[in-house]
Amino acid sequence: MKTFPLLASVVLVQLSAFSYAGTVVNGNWTPSSCGEKPIAPAIKDTDIDAFNASVESINNWQLKAKTYYDCLIKEANNDNSAIALSANREQNNHRDTVEKIRETIAATEKKLDK
């Protein structure tokens, strides 16, 4: 009976990986749950106060960018894992189908040879 909790946890992990799948459009992948990519602020050079304010904006941008890119990498890794699991599952299902066909053919040939 220990199999059910293990199987349930594997299914939940796979479902959670799929629930945050990114999007591919024209060959470009983008994450779906990381929000908008932060845009780098411009450095203002009109005076010292404007420059200092732009440096503060850059520091804030760097924190937001780190959060965004950490999320992007996590989501990309989850998508890669989900794709690999799905592809392997499909390949295994195909192998099982081919094996069942071979077994049916062999059994039918044996039956008809009698």
- Residue entry with tokens 């845009």: 39
48-113 vs 3-19: helix crossing angle, rounded to 10: 130
pLDDT at 45: 95
At residue 25, the 3 state secondary structure works out as strand
pLDDT at 21: 86
At residue 114, the 3 state secondary structure works out as coil
Cα(84)–Cα(92) distance, integer angstroms: 12
- Number of domains into which the chain is organized: 1
Q: What letter does residue 23 receive in the DSSP assignment?
A: E
**pLDDT tens, the chain, 114 aa long:** 555 555 445 555 555 545 668 999 999 999 999 999 999 999 999 999 999 999 999 999 999 999 999 999 999 999 999 999 999 999 999 999 999 999 999 999 999 997
Cα(92)–Cα(102) distance, integer angstroms: 15
Range of the domain at 63: 3-113
At residue 33, the 3 state secondary structure works out as coil
Cα(103)–Cα(114) distance, integer angstroms: 17
